[in-house]
Amino acid sequence: MASASSGPSAAGVSSFDPGVPSCASASGFNFLCCGVNRKRASGIKRSVGSEVPYASGMPIKKIGHRGVDSSGETTYKKTTSSALKGAIQLGITHTVGSLSTKPERDVLMQDFYVVESIFFPSEGSNLTPAHHYNDFRFKTYAPVAFRYFRELFGIRPDDYLYSLCNEPLIELCSSGASGSLFYVSSDDEFIIKTVQHKEAEFLQKLLPGYYMNLNQNPRTLLPKFYGLYCVQAGGKNIRIVVMNNLLPRSVKMHIKYDLKGSTYKRRASQKEREKPLPTFKDLDFLQDIPDGLFLDADMYNALCKTLQRDCLVLQSFKIMDYSLLMSIHNIDHAQREPLGNEAQCSADTRKPAPQKALYSTAMESIQGEARRGGTMETDDHMGGIPARNSKGERLLLYIGIIDILQSYRFVKKLEHSWKALVHDGDTVSVHRPGFYAERFQRFMCNTVFKKIPSQPSWKSLKLQSPSSPIEQKNSEDLEQDSTSLVIPKSQQC
């Protein structure tokens, strides 16, 4: 495998220090299993966070645990982003390598509660390579269980390592209101997100039920969790989760929504609207797209069935306050836009394309059989769901359910009770799980997504999956439709 670049990454954030071997090549698959160690790290002399110019008196702008100093350096719990990325890649390389020495077997109940821990001194050890960061400890939660999840989605260990560790992780600019850090792998396959202690703890409790659900229904719009880890240094725990990436960077998104089915204060702030690609909310959708988005009948039925099944699972876990993240690529608008980022596109095409994860795209999540050794995704539609707006414009939808690590605990119950005293209780986002699930489904399948009407005047809105041939009945009308779900070559990377 190629070593990581020592220069800036594509997103302009710091990557590995010069001379530091990439985590994919530093240790390969030759690490011995480190065993289970549940003890807290002790005796760590230096924290990763000591690299931050925190003591220099520079002002720190903080959102939650995320900070940005006056030099533009991103920090999380006083740990620089570059040091955190390096620790993540070194740790994942070790844990995947140690797993390769363990025989494959069925997942046992105790596998969900195992925590493996390994210490990474900067000078190296008999199990870990030397590195140019400060000492840290890396913990891996339920390694055998998550290996099973990755196998279920068709992710080979070498592909997982290549995607996450062969090149520097790319830091995403938007951290959200929670102050989480987001990284994306250079091949767009995986998102790494920092999570709070309660969220990580809740995910651990969910794992047995998550295992059962995925065995019954691998095609789902729920997040696909591939790993849960913790970087520990200087008394601070930075917990991260690896998930599927919903939004490919190679496709230009024209508008993005975070939808809950709630109307109370569900409008994007002025600050959010100033971003290059704002995340709009429910009231914005009702104003911008009052007629909804139109899907072919089969596509609509498959989507609503998936939403219904996923909501039932979330309700059974007493989960609420989740959202449907939806980004829209407007094919007609894209055809009229000048081609940009040509250098980036040409650079991307030189990279070897690793195997795509099964069921990783929006299209695969709701219908179709993904084939091992190659999914149904093609360069023509990039895994988006074909749709139209009321103007008849051709769209590709990229959707997924996010923020599912919120249970309806006492604090949420209290929050809903207080809001219900002042406002209409049925409009607030925080609600009991059963009501929340029902309202969420109703909003998505009645307001956001709609079947194409059968009237002759809507004939021009007939949609087909790009993976199936289009019937040639009315040659002129349908010839236009036959290209309606294809991104022009000028828009592809």
Fill in the DSSP letter of residue 136.
E
The predicted model scores a pTM of 0.72
Q: How distant is the alpha carbon of residue 169 from its chain centre?
A: 14
How many beta carbons lie within 10 A of that of residue 421, not counting itself?
8
| Predicted confidence (pLDDT) per residue in 433-472, tens digit | 888 999 999 999 999 999 987 655 554 555 544 443 333 3
Let me know: does 452 contact 294? Beta carbons within 8 Å: yes
List all residues 6 or more positions away from 204 whose beta carbon is below 8 Å from its beta carbon: 112, 113, 141, 142, 228
Q: Each residue's pLDDT tens digit in the chain (493 positions)?
A: 333 333 333 333 333 333 333 333 333 333 333 333 333 333 333 433 333 334 344 545 667 677 776 667 777 787 888 888 999 999 999 999 999 888 888 999 999 999 999 999 888 888 888 888 888 999 999 999 999 999 988 899 999 999 999 999 998 876 556 678 889 998 889 999 999 899 999 999 999 999 988 888 888 999 999 999 999 877 899 999 999 998 888 888 999 999 998 887 889 989 889 888 899 999 999 999 999 999 999 999 999 999 999 999 999 888 888 999 999 999 998 888 776 543 333 334 334 454 567 777 888 888 755 433 344 444 456 789 999 999 999 999 999 999 898 764 544 444 544 444 444 445 544 557 888 999 999 999 999 999 987 655 554 555 544 443 333 333 344 344 433 333 344 434 3
Task: Name which of 363, 390, 393, 403 is nearest 279 in CA terms.
Answer: 403
So where are the chain's domains? 60-245, 246-334+382-419+432-454
What CATH number belongs to 246-334+382-419+432-454? 3.30.810.10
For residue range 341-385, list pLDDT tens digits in order.
Answer: 433 333 343 344 545 677 778 888 887 554 333 444 444 567 899
d(CA 91, CA 85): 10
Angle between helix axes 433-443 and 297-316 (nearest 10 degrees) is 170
Instruction: Say if residues 328 and 399 touch (Cβ distance below 8 Å).
Output: no
Q: Which amino acid belongs to residue 211?
A: Y
228 — phi, psi (to 5°)? -130, 125
CA-CA distance, 172 to 300, in Å (whole number)? 32
**CATH match of 60-245 with 3.30.800.10:** yes
Q: C-alpha 269: how far from its chain's center?
A: 23
Concatenating the DSSP letter of every residue in 51-86 gives GSTTTTT--EEEETTEEEETT--EEETTEEHHHHHH
C-alpha to C-alpha distances, 81 to 21, 45, 88, 166, nearest whole angstrom: 18, 20, 10, 17
Burial 28-65 (b: 16+ CB within 10 A, else e): eeebebbeeeeeebeebeebbbbbbebeeeeeeeeebb
Alpha-carbon separation of residue 69 from 78, 182, 306 (angstroms):
10, 18, 43
Residue in 85, 18, 12 with CA at minimum distance from that of residue 48: 85
